[in-house]
Amino acid sequence: MHIPDGFLSTEIWVLMYALTLVVLAYATKKVNKKLGDKHVPLMGVLAAFVFAAQMLNVPIAAGTSGHMLGGVLIAVFIGPYAASLVMASIFFVQSVFFQDGGLTALGANIFNMGLIGAVLGYFIYVAVRKALKGHRGRFIALGISAWLAVVLAAIATTIELAFSGTVDLALALPAMVSVHAIIGVVEALITVAVVAFVLKTRPDLLELEKI
């Protein structure tokens, strides 16, 4: 889902940079007000875990593969705003040092694969969590929000490429959604598994104040 250089029109990649920077500026302001000593090491651990997990590609079909995004997973521990900054740092490092996604498309890649999950995915999780109580409700909310984050990221990517004239929306959207619906299942399973493990071993990590 990483968009390379040259796939987005100037208007689209500039717009996506602007949207991403606005969200990150707001997130930075919110995090600076509430950042605690316990949050910093956890942010580092989560960044390292998701970065490593994203390097593992899962074969899907017809030569395609996918990897987890991790936005919902990180946000569940530290909140949507701190998670936004962590996700942005992950995709920045991938783009600059591993050439995974173009520099002109970095704003779009951060927005699609990072911010949609960290912010929108998190608030979907909260909404479902309020409707469904107990441990089962938590895991259902995690699965739904993690899956939706991947699918919504695929939709956003396709729309940006279509408005850039790179793909035909009518053809690309069903293909992207169908493939990433499968990838989303993997994302949901990993997210649920990690949170279930933490609940058994270090439940206090999930009780930190969200920032």
Cα 196 to Cα 172: distance, rounded to the nearest angstrom:
35
The answer, yes or no, to whether residue 31 has pLDDT greater than 70, is yes
Alpha-carbon distance of 58 to 67, in angstroms, equals 6
pLDDT tens-digit readout, 76-118: 999 999 999 999 999 999 999 988 889 999 999 999 999 999 9
The pLDDT, as a whole number, for residue 133 is: 87
Buried b or exposed e, range 82-109, using 16+ CB within 10 angstroms? bbbbbbbbbbbebbeeeeebbebbbbbb
For the ranges 99-103, 123-127, 141-145, 192-196, the lowest mean pLDDT is seen at 99-103
Per-residue pLDDT, 208? 84
User: Quick one: pLDDT band at residue 58, thresholds 50, 70, 90?
Assistant: low
167 Cβ contact list (under 8 Å, min separation 6): 158, 161
> Would you kindly state where each structural domain of the chain is located, as residue ranges?
10-206
Residue 209, pLDDT > 90, answer no
- Quote the mean pLDDT of the chain: 92
Left, alpha or beta for 210 (phi > 0: left; psi -120 to 50: alpha)?
Answer: beta
pLDDT confidence band for 61 (50 / 70 / 90): low
Least confident window among 19-23, 73-77, 168-172: 168-172
Say what the pLDDT of residue 66 is: 67
Q: Which stretch of DSSP H or E encloses residue 162?
A: helix 134-163
Q: Note if the pTM is more than 0.75.
A: yes
The fold of 10-206 is Arp2/3 complex 21 kDa subunit ARPC3 (1.10.1760)
Residue 64 clears pLDDT 60, i.e. is over it: no
